[in-house]
Amino acid sequence: MRRRFGGGCLPRSMRKRKNLGGTSGLYGRFFATAAALCIVAVLSAHHENSRYEEASADHLNEVVMAQPKDWHTEANEMEGYIAERIRATKGDRPLSVAGHQLIQAKECELAKSRYVHMVFGNGVQRISMYVLSKNERPLLDRIATSLLPPLCSLTEAGYNVTEGDYKGNRVLLVSTLPQTKEQRIVTGVLHEMS
């Protein structure tokens, strides 16, 4: 009579498969995890493109064509709003762009996230900066973007859009500046925030 428990009641061929099953299960979990990370990266890349498109369209509509919106335009009002939404830790200085001054600020939705939209100007041109602090970003989003390059620049609808991620914070910059200059600005702002 065979016992119904333990490995002794299985034929040898099945016992070997059972032993190999533990090892192949580890490989299976590894490949499933790798596949899940690839899917997240692909979805994040698609999401990234929609952010660029939406940021470029928003800049064109709200800044270049000056569609009326509820902007904060008084200096104290802008500083208070930005300080409330974005906490720059290095001396609590407001975020800045060299050679430009802050003109207006408001909340803006890009790719289903709530960004702070700041417009900087120098009398000749205006730059849109969209900032999403790490406190506003879901964990999965922060993980997915940590797999991507820290800086990326594209041209969208005639405007350069540069995005940077650093320590969970995200900055998008839309302007007609050269991409290298945009990248320096985004890098500087991200370091101010960290």
Q: What is the pLDDT of residue 178?
A: 95
What is the residue type of 149?
A: P
Q: Give me the tens of pLDDT residue by residue for the chain, a chain 194 residues long.
A: 555 555 555 555 555 544 444 555 666 676 677 666 555 555 544 445 788 999 999 999 999 998 877 899 999 899 888 888 886 544 556 688 889 999 999 999 998 888 999 999 999 999 999 998 776 666 666 666 566 678 899 998 899 999 998 887 889 999 999 999 999 999 999 888 87
Q: What is the pLDDT of residue 23?
A: 53
Altogether, the residues listed in the chain come to a count of 194
This model's pTM is above 0.95: no
Helix, strand, coil % (nearest 5) of the chain? 50, 25, 25
Q: What is the pLDDT of residue 79?
A: 86
Q: What is the pLDDT of residue 111?
A: 86
Tokens standing for residue 63 = 């800044």
Q: Which residue has the tokens 């995890």?
A: 33
Q: What is the pLDDT of residue 100?
A: 94
Question: Is residue 70 helix, strand or coil?
Answer: coil
Cβ count within 10 A of residue 75: 11
Contacts of 88 (CB under 8 A, 6+ apart): 94, 95, 192, 193
Q: Helices 12-58 and 139-146 meet at what angle, rounded to 10? A: 90
If you ran DSSP here, which 8-state letter would residue 72 be given? B
Domain 47-193 falls in which CATH fold? Phosphorylase Kinase; domain 1 (3.30.200)
For the chain, domain boundaries? 47-193
